[in-house]
Amino acid sequence: MRSFLFEWWISKRYLKPKNKERFFSLITILSFIGISSGVAILIIVMSVMNGLRSELFDKLIGINGHILIYPYSERGIDNSDQIKENLEDIKEIKNFFPMLEAQVLVMGESQSSGALLRGVSGESLKSLEIIQKNIISGDINSLDPGEAVIGSRLASSLGLSEGDNLTLLSPRGISSPFGTVPRSSSFDIKAIFEIGMTEYDGNIVFLNISDAREILNLGDVYGVIELMVTNADNSQLIKQKIDKKLENFDVFSRDWRQTNATLAEALNVEKNVMLLVLSLILVIAGINIASGLIMLIKDKSREISILRAIGLSKYNASRIFIISGLKIGFFATFWGILIGVIVSPYVEEIRLTFSYIFNVTFFNPELRFLTQLPSELRINDVLLIGSMSIGMTLLSTIYPSFRAISNDPVEALRNE
């Protein structure tokens, strides 16, 4: 213990250079800034990547379901009640959501836009939590025939609000001697929702299932059945149970991993690449520490030789410089983690501030799908980045510490 305290004291003196050693002090400061800024940036970036992934998947899954059941035939699903009965004993299913989907043209008073029509029952729409919790105008306690629920961006682009009238035009029209005549109907806007994802806020229209069947010229069928389960991570196991139950039905199922596989892989790759690229900041800071310690060793060669001559072992001498490097790395890592943890929850406010100051859009919702820059701080990422920083610092001290004991103290003192 005394030996360690002695080494700690010596390293502390070495990290407080005299006037003639100001250049080493500058390198130490740059190393400290490099590590702390690298750690802080890594934590902030990883938090944003985690937030993006969580937001996208929560909203994608929240509106599209954990498991989707599709028909093999083009006529649709005409036995949804029997399917529901067969799945009732699977306790993990918490919501059964049959609906119709089709592309339509939505027309306001002076504007028009393409949209995705979703025909649902009023009860089913009420059970869709992501819509129920994000109604900004009107209500969805009931969705009667002749009423529609649309996204906020779609309403804004068409210049519509709650209570206004919109017209839907479907390509599935009525056959006539002059060809297919598109079918159109008018609906009153019952409610407007905003879930914060431009892909849905600007493209979805909910109608009563009877209206959807009429405008699409379909019978008593559904196009897809969405299932919400208690634990999305177990969706593949639940899917296997569903497939066994529906072997005799003319349907097949897909879970959220299959429907969003490309997006999931892209986000994971982007996160790993960002981690790799930004880790180079820590590598550069580690090189700075190594170069600073080498300069310190060269400057302190006489003192090291004296300590060796009076009985300090090679191991103790090398440990002085390992402790010196780790001091820089530890305190820099600590401040980097502190800054990263403090800043991460406020990245959206920072984005808005810089956007206002520089009058530049730093996070375009049209390209990024989300209207806000999300952040989700995870303790595992903080521990990983902190461990990487300390590990890089330790590696950077190995060569200088061996350099410190490579010279013979007698020869070093003779040269002096």
One domain, residues 193 and 291? no
One domain, residues 277 and 204? no
CA distance 404 to 231: 57
Position 156 in a domain? yes
Position 104 in a domain? yes
Instruction: Please write the tens of the pLDDT for every residue from 129-146.
Output: 888 888 998 888 888 888
Instruction: Write down how long the chain is.
Output: 416
| Bridge partner residues of 364 (DSSP) | none
CA distance 257 to 236: 8
State both tokens at 386: 């902190």
One domain, residues 25 and 53? yes
One domain, residues 307 and 393? yes
Torsion of CA 38, 43, 48, 52, to 10 degrees: 120
Instruction: Return the percentage of the chain with pLDDT > 70, whole number.
Output: 79
CA distance 348 to 371: 10
CA distance 147 to 415: 95
Query: Which H/E stretch holds residue 212?
Result: helix 209-215
One domain, residues 138 and 212? yes
Could you tell me the residue range of the domain that residue 194 belongs to?
Answer: 73-249
Strands 179-193 vs 147-151: parallel, antiparallel or unpaired: parallel
One domain, residues 89 and 217? yes
Q: What average pLDDT does this structure show over 82-86?
A: 87
Torsion of CA 193, 194, 195, 198, to 10 degrees: 120
Position 255 in a domain? no
CB neighbour burial string for 401-415, b if at least 16 within 10 angstroms, e if fewer: bebbbeeebeebeee
pLDDT value of residue 343? 92
CA distance 65 to 30: 51
Instruction: Please write the tens of the pLDDT for every residue from 299-320.
Output: 666 666 666 666 666 667 677 7
State both tokens at 337: 């983690």
Per-residue pLDDT band for 35 (boundaries 50, 70, 90) equals confident
The Cα-based distances of 37 to 253, 356, 357 in angstroms read 47, 25, 23
Residue at a domain's end among 218, 249, 280: 249
Residue 291: alpha-carbon gap to chain centroid: 37
The Cα-based distances of 145 to 43, 121, 381 in angstroms read 50, 10, 50
One domain, residues 411 and 329? yes
CA distance 198 to 63: 13
Per-residue pLDDT band for 414 (boundaries 50, 70, 90) equals low
One domain, residues 186 and 270? no
Residues 6+ positions from 178 with CB-CB distance below 8 Å: none
Instruction: Please write the tens of the pLDDT for every residue from 340-385.
Output: 999 998 888 888 887 788 777 666 655 555 667 788 898 998 998 8
One domain, residues 200 and 312? no
Identify the weakest region by mean pLDDT among 13-17, 122-126, 132-136: 13-17
Q: What angle do CA 137, 143, 148 make, to 5 degrees?
A: 60
CB 119 within 8 A of CB 99: yes
Classify residue 357 as exposed, middle or buried by CB count within 10 Å of its CB (0-12, 13-18, 19+): exposed
Torsion of CA 128, 130, 133, 137, to 10 degrees: -90
Per-residue pLDDT band for 192 (boundaries 50, 70, 90) equals very high
CA distance 66 to 327: 49
In terms of pLDDT, which residue wins out, 150 or 290? 150
Per-residue pLDDT band for 191 (boundaries 50, 70, 90) equals very high
Position 154 in a domain? yes
Position 29 in a domain? yes
The Cα-based distances of 19 to 22, 57, 207 in angstroms read 6, 57, 78
Per-residue pLDDT band for 232 (boundaries 50, 70, 90) equals confident
Position 258 in a domain? no
Task: Give how many domains the chain has, as a whole number.
Answer: 2
Query: Around 37, how many Cα atoms within 13 Å sit in the side-chain half-sphere?
Result: 10
CB 289 within 8 A of CB 328: yes
DSSP conformation letters of 324-356? HHHHHHHHHHHHHHHHHHHHGGGHHHHHHHHHH
One domain, residues 226 and 329? no
Query: Mean pLDDT across the chain, nearest whole number?
Result: 79
Identify the weakest region by mean pLDDT among 70-79, 235-244, 266-275: 266-275
One domain, residues 352 and 305? yes
The Cα-based distances of 153 to 36, 196, 202 in angstroms read 41, 10, 4
Residues 6+ positions from 183 with CB-CB distance below 8 Å: 169, 170, 172, 173, 174, 214, 215, 216, 217
What sign for the dihedral angle of Cα 133, 137, 142, 143? negative
pLDDT value of residue 340? 92
Tell me the residue ranges of DSSP E strands in 31-164.
67-71, 93-107, 112-120, 135-138, 147-151
Residue 158 has pLDDT above 70, yes or no: yes
CB 205 within 8 A of CB 118: yes
One domain, residues 326 and 279? yes
Residue at a domain's end among 202, 226, 249: 249
Crossing angle of helices 301-309/261-299, nearest 10°?
Answer: 70
Question: Which residue shows structure tokens 């952040």?
Answer: 375
In terms of pLDDT, which residue wins out, 135 or 264? 135
